[in-house]
Amino acid sequence: MLPVGHGNSPAAWTCVGVMALGVVVACLAFVFANVPFFVVGVVIIVAGLFAGWFLRRAGYGVGGDKIKSHHA
């Protein structure tokens, strides 16, 4: 069983926040039939994945050495 609060880290929240912004941009572009802005939205989504991965590798993920509170 996973501990309470799993996934609550700066890396995870950054990843989700950036990806959510990308989804909003892509959805609005889809509604207004704007292909360049749709591509921008997809690029933002991919950037969110890389941001989360990079922050996790830098120690800001769950159990990382840069996190002040450890639940383990």
Domain hosting 43: range is 10-60
Structural domains counted in the chain: 1
pTM of the model: 0.82
Q: Give the span between the Cα atoms of 37 and 53, in whole angstroms.
A: 24
35: its two tokens: 């292909």
User: Which residues lie below 8 Å from residue 30, measured CB to CB, with a gap of 6+?
Assistant: 38
Look at residue 32 and tell me if it is in a domain.
Answer: yes
Look at residue 21 and tell me if it is in a domain.
Answer: yes
Long-range contacts of 57-65 (CB under 8 A, 24+ apart): 58/11, 60/9, 60/10, 60/11, 60/14, 61/9, 61/11, 61/12, 62/6, 62/7, 62/8, 62/9, 62/11, 62/12, 64/9, 64/11
- Predicted confidence (pLDDT) per residue in 21-67, tens digit: 999 999 999 999 999 999 999 999 999 999 999 999 999 988 888 88
Whether 18 shows a pLDDT value over 60: the answer reads yes
For residue 17, give the amino acid letter.
G
Look at residue 71 and tell me if it is in a domain.
Answer: no
pLDDT at 69: 62
